[in-house]
Chains A and B, each alone.
Chain A
Amino acid sequence: MAKNELKLLGAWASPYVMRPRIALNIKSADYEFLQETFGSKSQLLLESNPVHKKIPVLIHNGKPICESLIIVEYIDEVWSSGPSILPSDPYDRATARFWGAYVDEKWFPNLKMLSTAEGEARDEVIGSLVEGLVLLEDAFKKMSKGKAFFGGDQIGYLDIAFGCYLGWLRAAEKMSGVKLVDEAKTPGLVKWAETFSSHPAVKDVMPDVDRLVEFGKSLAAKFKAAKTGS
């Protein structure tokens, strides 16, 4: 069997970095985690991802793979004997990928805005976030078919794609004082969030919420300073 040398370039606070870490844990694959310092980029990162210069980057036997969800699919395909992350049916795969793209392109950008939006704009952002969660609740009902995860009995692609945002979601709820995931509108997601977060493949790579709140506050302060400074 070929020797597998795995390095993952990442950072503790990044939801995107969590994705390949969960996938590697599911496959019981060992890897070296190389933390990037916030605010600067290592030579290895710039060489491995010259196009975007972003984390995460998985380096497998010297070859880099970039973009978190692309990395997850790669891991699923290479470690094909481990538990499957993507479903086998093409339509189910398309559905999982659709919602993965949705959380990245539509939902998470709103979450990022929550800490800096004010007044009416803030109400709109909260409204959009909750609307999105209701859509995801519906997707959860359809995809889980009564089981614990979007992927059914086991953690799947969308559990990873959406679940990686839970740390920041909880941090945003704490910082804003607004409950986004609640029993009334999204009971399925409330339970799923608990189950997902305590799963052995997830719990050690899920960042501590209070630590994220501290980090989030310092980011928001920097952002405000940059705005008023110009």
Chain B
Amino acid sequence: MANNAEVILLDFWPSPFGMRIRIALAEKGIKYEYREEDLKNKSDLLLQMNPVHKKIPVLIHNGKPVAESLIAVQYIDEVWKDKAPLLPSDPYQRAQANFWADFVDKKLFELGRKIWATKGEEQEEAKQGFIESLKLLEGELGEKPFFGGENLGYVDVALMPFYSWFYTYEVCGNFSIEAECPKLIEWAKRCLAKESVFNSLPDHKKVYGFMLELKKRFGIE
């Protein structure tokens, strides 16, 4: 039986990567201590637990750190395997889930960042790339309620956090994601109806405010 004795999450509220771990822990009903990091002044614990990258999120289980959000989600799925499985049991379906979660990692964060942080041609290209990526994901979802089938799965957990940044991307990029990818937005609303997801995502207007602060701090127009 998995030992819940001590689970700590070092996180930063607007991070989509941190949100993934929050959702996974909530889906499994795992009690944990959430610690907000000030990224301008990283804690000794963070630097000790993730000396290689010095980044959040870091999951700490019984004193042992697991860094990198998807690796942490897989770890959670393997340790607390008796409740709400996130990865499919069939190896081929697992490989597909891994593929699409990796796809989300390769595309969305960087393209999303360019949408809010750049202008002109660079921004247009990023918007196009972003929409193309979402359309591919819509294709993968197909008629299923969730990427995981009847229930939330690994790809749902990997992708859903970016939804809290959609409003920010839309305002900065002056476009509507719902107009381009209506099925994906329907999917997102289904996910949000789940407590584990709803409680793990920040308010999207708050995220927008955070982005404005970042722009100011880094002198981005």
Interface residues, chain A, with chain B CB atoms under 8 Å away:
51, 60, 63, 65-67, 70-71, 73-74, 77-78, 90-91, 93-94, 97-98, 101-102, 135
A71 contacts across to B, CB distance below 8 A = 95
Known pairs A91-B64, A93-B78, A94-B66; A101 contacts B98 (CB<8 A): no
The stretch of B26-34, B67-75, B117-125 in contact with A is B67-75
Prevailing SS type, chain A contact patch = helix
Partner of A63, one of B67, B75, B92, B94: B92
Report the Cα distance A77→B90, complex, angstroms.
Answer: 9
Known pairs A67-B102, A94-B66, A98-B68; A74 contacts B75 (CB<8 A): no
Q: Contact between A94 and B94 (Cβ–Cβ < 8 Å)?
A: no
B92 contacts across to A, CB distance below 8 A = 60, 63, 65, 74
Q: Contact between B75 and A67 (Cβ–Cβ < 8 Å)?
A: no
The minimal Cβ–Cβ distance linking B42 to chain A, given in whole angstroms, is 18
Q: Contact between A74 and B95 (Cβ–Cβ < 8 Å)?
A: yes
Pair count A-B, CB < 8 A = 52
Known pairs A73-B95, A77-B91; A97 contacts B67 (CB<8 A): no
Partner of A94, one of B72, B99, B136: B72
Partner of B98, one of A63, A67, A98: A67
The minimal Cβ–Cβ distance linking A130 to chain B, given in whole angstroms, is 15
Report the Cα distance A71→B95, complex, angstroms.
Answer: 7
Report the Cα distance A77→B102, complex, angstroms.
Answer: 19
Report the Cα distance A98→B70, complex, angstroms.
Answer: 10
Nearest residue (CB) in A for B92 is A63
Q: Contact between A70 and B99 (Cβ–Cβ < 8 Å)?
A: yes
Q: Contact between A51 and B103 (Cβ–Cβ < 8 Å)?
A: yes
B61 contacts across to A, CB distance below 8 A = 91
Quick check: is B1 within 8 A (CB to CB) of the other chain? no
The minimal Cβ–Cβ distance linking B147 to chain A, given in whole angstroms, is 15
Q: Which one of A67, A90, A97 has the greatest number of beta carbons of chain B within 10 Å?
A: A90
Q: Contact between A70 and B95 (Cβ–Cβ < 8 Å)?
A: yes
Q: Contact between A94 and B52 (Cβ–Cβ < 8 Å)?
A: no
Q: Contact between A94 and B75 (Cβ–Cβ < 8 Å)?
A: yes
Known pairs A74-B91, A135-B52; A66 contacts B71 (CB<8 A): no
Q: Contact between A91 and B68 (Cβ–Cβ < 8 Å)?
A: no
B45 contacts across to A, CB distance below 8 A = none
Nearest residue (CB) in B for A74 is B95
Q: Contact between B98 and A97 (Cβ–Cβ < 8 Å)?
A: no
Known pairs A66-B99, A67-B102; A91 contacts B91 (CB<8 A): no
Report the Cα distance A94→B71, complex, angstroms.
Answer: 6
Q: Contact between B99 and A93 (Cβ–Cβ < 8 Å)?
A: no
Nearest residue (CB) in B for A80 is B91
Q: Contact between A70 and B74 (Cβ–Cβ < 8 Å)?
A: no
